Amino acid sequence: MNTSPQHSYRTGRGLDLLALASIILIACSLRPAASSLGPVLSEVNAAFALAEWQTGLLTALPGLIFAICGFIAVPFLKRLGLFRSLLFSCALIVVGVGTRAFVDGWLLFAGLTILALAGMSLGNVILPVFVKSRFPDRTSLAATAFTVSLGLGSMFPAFLTAPIAAQSDNWRVGLGVWALVPTCALVTWIVLKLARSIPSLDRSAEEAHGARPPRRHIYVSPKARYMAMFFGLQSVNAYVQFGWVPQIYRDAGIDPVLAGVMLTIVTFGGIPGGFLAPQIIMRGILPRFFLVTFAVSAVLGYLGLLLVPTTMPALWAIFLAYGGFAFPAALALITGRTTDVSITARTSAFVQSSGYVLAAIGPLAVGGLLGLSGGWSVPLWFMVAVSVLMGVTGYLAGSPGTVDEELASPEDRNAPAGRLGGTADR
């Protein structure tokens, strides 16, 4: 068992496995509050006698809260530190998810949902910082665990909430059971702290070597701006698909059950994508080529739905699923295209907060276009254009170099080699 000289945290095989388990459990906690609601939304509507605007607000909350709270995550991290920040994130999720299942008023239900989403939003931004700082030499492994677990945290609640609610004959059980995951994450995180295996971020790696990290605002970096646009455009794709793909298939004349199967195919893409996309980015395996192929695949999927939706419908779903590899790739870019952990934190906050603004707007735009045009042609052409732009920004975001280098002052650029940590495009 060793102690890192740079960050003063204990390491070792057992502690590394515990840290990896913490990443997996926290990442699995960052989606269920959102993905478990849809399967029992009808029951929630009936229980609280919701108006249409109230239902619409509940479904729009994830993107809105992720965007708003993402901006405060870095100041929150600086003030509380890594351990207390993620502790607070997990605690908010536990309280929000666990308590909302037992309340009787809609306002309290919505407020507790916001509480859980706020915790998820903080975790979205801060967990990549832990990934980067705790596994500096094995970031690819930790990033893969992070992205795969995010996919699992989205998929399992979406699939299992309704069966659990049906088995117990109570929708509240179907929602409340997902508080178990962040509870386990909370316990594991505390144990990891007691084992003194969580990095202290009082000093970054650069400061430990006598260099001062860049202080210019993150949007000065072109790479960070392209990453934010890429993240936002892929988020538009994801949220539109989750909300509208089954209806697109049903409006084309496909059986509702089969339409649900098509959405299952689309969402399942997050699992292999979570394994493969971080490896592509972190190991530099033709990253720009693959980022463009994700966009091309999404374009083909939308064109199939537009032109021949009932001909080989599973093929269009598979194309959209491969296009969904863009999400874990976008997350991997945050750690793969930054060096200093303070820059990772700032980039994560900027990319995700900006991106989720688009994620909140995209489904509303598609709904508006559908209402104005009276059919799916205009909305699907809109999504083709979104996917093309996703390919362009992905190509630019995946270029060699790091955000750190673009933020560096002229003095830092002239510093001896090794002072800034090197490039991410290996």
| Tens-digit pLDDT profile for residues 163-204 | 898 899 999 999 999 999 999 999 999 999 999 999 887 544
Mean per-residue pLDDT of the chain:
85
Q: Round to whole Å and give the CA distance between 386 and 231.
A: 12
Return the pLDDT at 387. 97
- Identify any residues that bridge with 10 across adjacent strands, giving them in sequence order: 3
What is the pTM for the complete model shown? 0.80
- pLDDT score for 204: 43
What CATH number matches the domain at 213-426, 1.25.40.340, 3.40.50.1370, 3.90.550.10, 1.20.1250.20? 1.20.1250.20
Write down the pLDDT at residue 3.
53
Locate the domains of the chain by residue range.
1-202, 213-426
Q: What is the mean pLDDT of residues 389-417?
A: 80
For residue 3, give the H/E element and its range.
Answer: strand 2-3
Mean pLDDT for the stretch of residues 226-244 = 88
CA distance 161 to 144: 26
Determine the 3-state secondary structure of 10 from DSSP: strand
Convert the pLDDT of each residue in 55-99 to its tens digit. Answer: 767 777 887 888 888 888 888 888 999 999 999 999 999 999 999
Q: So what's the pLDDT on residue 211?
A: 47
213-426 and 1-202 share a CATH fold: yes
How far is CA 274 from its chain centroid? 11
> At 2, is the pLDDT very low, low, confident or very high (cuts 50, 70, 90)?
low
> Confidence band (pLDDT; 50, 70, 90) for 425?
very low
Residue-level pLDDT at 51: 79
* pLDDT over 70 percentage in the chain: 90
Asked which of 42-51, 121-130, 389-398 is least confident by mean pLDDT, the reply is 42-51
Residue 264 binned pLDDT confidence (cut-offs 50, 70, 90): confident
* pLDDT at residue 362, rounded to an integer: 80
- pLDDT band of 342, cuts 50, 70, 90: confident
Q: Is the pLDDT of residue 423 over 70?
A: no
Q: Where are the alpha helices (DSSP H) in 177-323?
A: 180-194, 205-208, 222-251, 256-268, 270-282, 287-307, 313-323
Residue 281 CA to residue 15 CA, distance in Å, equals: 26
Residue 403: pLDDT over 70 = yes
User: 1-202 sits in which CATH class?
Assistant: mainly alpha
Tell me the pLDDT band of 421, cut-offs 50, 70 and 90.
Answer: very low
- State in Å, rounded, how far the first CA of the chain is from the last one: 30
Q: What is the average per-residue pLDDT within 258-265?
A: 82
Whether residue 37 contacts residue 62, with contact meaning beta carbons closer than 8 Å, is answered with: no
Higher-confidence residue: 282 or 300? 300
